[in-house]
Amino acid sequence: MKKKILFRADGNSSIGLGHLYRLFGLVEIYKKKYDFVFLTKEDTEVSIIPDNYSVKLIPTEITCNKEPEWIKSNFNSESYIMIVDGYQFKSGYQKSIKEQGIKLIYIDDLVQWHMYADVVINHSLGYKSSDYSSEDYTIFGLGSNYALLRPSFIEESKKNRIIKKVDSVFICFGGADPFGLTIEAVEALKKNIEIKDIHIVIGGAFKDKNKLEAIIKDNPRFKIHQNLSEKKMIEVMRSTNLAIAPSSTILYELCSVKMPILSGFYVDNQERIYKGFLDKGAIFGLGDISSFNRKDFEFALSKFFKTNNIESYCKAQIGLFDGKIEERFLNIIEE
């Protein structure tokens, strides 16, 4: 009997939407061959989950400790593979799921606890399996060869693109932007006469839309996009030739499209991604941006425009992906 997949992740304005979007990429790969159910807590921003997904909500009163038992009572363990993405799914959770006989794939980027999962995926650059504490049976999918990209971005990663001139900007600080960096970056670009068009992408959990609209009112250079589809996101990215974004999943997507990117980190899990891309020469590094303000972004933009190696970023990004990401994910679930 062919197994089905349980995808498990949460996302809202408090924890961000990154865990959801990373799993969306895997859903699009695996749904061609597997039936699936997407599991998420009731307080998740469910509006961003695609309408064609089969979704089951987990009651908010079900704690992480109780969740394996809830799964056992709602699903036939022998029929499912489970793919989970979230920092709450630590060793105890993984062990409980494994004891039910469920094959478990865990999406990680912290490398902090013992792994009981059958497969661990970490698309951060620079990690080795020896960096992990794990069971003997655990196998690993590490680095940009396992980038958690949606299929259209995987296709973009196979294309070459070279930028020689910068006059349009893509800005995105994730679906929630908990540090309010979008507005600071926008303020920095208002006086920049070198940039003709600024595309601002916000998500369903973004709370400062009214303030943002007031700042750019009557300024035709700025355009706000919200809750973009995968293909529309690529269209907007390709219409620009410079990006400002954190070192999260959006950075992998931008690198697949290819352009100079001003990137930094504001939480611990982004720092390793940041250092990996910086070492490859794939980004213009901003460091820790958790307290960045308008002047910080102005200084960074001024420094960037004084560089003479704009083309080098795209060339470095081309080397990150080899076009076989989807094939690897299809193979690793069957190992």
What are the pLDDT digits (tens) for 261-274?
999 999 988 999 99
Q: Is 61 flagged in the annotation as binding?
A: no
* Pair (29, 10) in one structural domain: yes
* Pair (273, 161) in one structural domain: yes
> Distance between CA atoms of 62 and 69, rounded to whole angstroms?
10
* Pair (156, 208) in one structural domain: yes
Q: How far is CA 148 from CA 66, 141, 248, 258, 259, in A?
A: 28, 11, 11, 16, 19
Three-class SS state of 171: strand
Q: Which domain holds residue 290?
A: 151-318
* Pair (135, 158) in one structural domain: no
* Pair (8, 130) in one structural domain: yes
Domain harbouring 125, CATH code: 3.40.50.11190
* Pair (100, 200) in one structural domain: no
> Distance between CA atoms of 313 and 198, rounded to whole angstroms?
20
* Pair (309, 264) in one structural domain: yes
199 belongs to the catalytic site? no
* Pair (61, 170) in one structural domain: no
Three-class SS state of 139: strand
Q: Is 335 flagged in the annotation as binding?
A: no
* Pair (134, 210) in one structural domain: no
- One of 19, 123, 199, 225 is an active-site residue; which one? 19
What are the pLDDT digits (tens) for 148-160?
999 999 999 999 9
Q: How many structural domains are present in the chain?
A: 2
* Pair (173, 231) in one structural domain: yes
Segment 262-289 mean pLDDT = 96
* Pair (127, 171) in one structural domain: no
Lowest-confidence segment of 69-73, 79-83, 188-192 by average pLDDT: 188-192
Per DSSP, the residues of 32-99 read TT--EEEEEETTS-GGGS-TTS-EEEEPTTS-TTTHHHHHHHHS-GGGEEEEEE-TT--HHHHHHHHH
* Pair (116, 199) in one structural domain: no
Query: What is the residue whose two structure tokens read 């001003």?
Result: 262
Per-residue pLDDT band at 1 (split at 50, 70, 90): low
The total of other beta-carbon atoms located within 10 Å of residue 163's CB is 15
Per-residue pLDDT band at 258 (split at 50, 70, 90): very high
Question: Is residue 323 included in any domain, yes or no?
Answer: no
Domain harbouring 201, CATH code: 3.40.50.2000
